[in-house]
Amino acid sequence: MVKRENIVWHNGKVNPEQRRGLLGQKGLVVWLTGLSGSGKSTIAVEVEKRLLEEGYWVYRLDGDNVRHGLNSDLGFSDADRDENIRRIAEVSALFADAGMITLVSFISPFRKMRQFAREKAGAGHFAEVFVRADLETCARRDPKGLYEKAKNGEISDFTGISSPYEEPEDPELLLDTTRMSVDESVEHLLDYIRIVV
Ligand code: ADP
């Protein structure tokens, strides 16, 4: 269990409003969730580029990339998936507190952990974006060859096949990538972010 004795919160002399004044934007966690292959990373990469070009302070946390470093000790059991998301929720909440627009693209299949991320970021600093594509479409795209492997039994605990995905019930934004092109999804998300920050 975590050791927490003798740890006292130390307040600083800088507040979020000061950072907001300096940066001209508020911190926001944009949490993209959806099946593998639904388009989260593709959309996040484009949105990051566009926001940067428009002068926003933006950073992207990608599921696969973070699993190379911070979360390299974690696998895909339910407990490890929860811990994966818990750490990302903490990190993205810190980024948002620092004033950054943080694009988070993780499958994040469990509602309770997405709710945890929302609570960590705080009201007005979190947007859940459901990147939706049905399983057949994702399996057809199969950008990383993972569905093929899962079908052949080479991957256990694969979301949508041998591990559940709990769809968002009330996301701030829904991007249905079976109906919208990448460009359309990117424009929708950009419109949303520009209004919110
Ligand atoms: P995820 O990050 O959700 O696992 P990726 O972005 O890595 O998904 O992969 C999605 C794949 O689907 C990419 O190869 C992308 O080019 C392709 N794709 C095809 N149509 C779309 C669309 N309308 N929106 C997003 N991605 C699409």
Q: Where are the domains of the chain?
A: 24-196
pLDDT digits (tens, 9 = 90+) for 45-104: 999 999 999 999 999 998 778 889 999 999 988 899 889 999 999 999 999 999 999 999
Nearest to 77, CA basis, from 69, 65, 85: 85
pLDDT at residue 15 is higher than 80: yes
Q: Is 162 a catalytic residue?
A: no
CA distance 192 to 96: 17
CA distance 116 to 197: 21
Residues 111, 116, 120, 122: is their CA dihedral positive or negative?
A: positive
User: Using a 6 Å cutoff on CB, does residue 33 contact ligand 1?
Assistant: no
- Beta-carbon contacts of 92 under 8 Å, excluding residues fewer than 6 positions away, are 29, 31, 61, 102, 104, 117, 120, 121
- Decide which of 15 and 129 is more confident: 129
pLDDT of 2 reads 64
pLDDT at residue 28 is higher than 70: yes
Ligand 1 centroid to 89 CA: how many Å? 23
CATH of 24-196, one of 3.40.50.300, 3.30.565.10, 3.40.640.10, 3.40.718.10: 3.40.50.300
Ligand 1 centroid to 51 CA: how many Å? 20
Percent of the chain with pLDDT over 90: 84
pLDDT digits (tens, 9 = 90+) for 101-130: 999 999 999 999 999 999 999 999 999 999
Question: Which one of 36, 105, 108, 163 is the catalytic residue?
Answer: 108
pLDDT at residue 1 is higher than 60: no
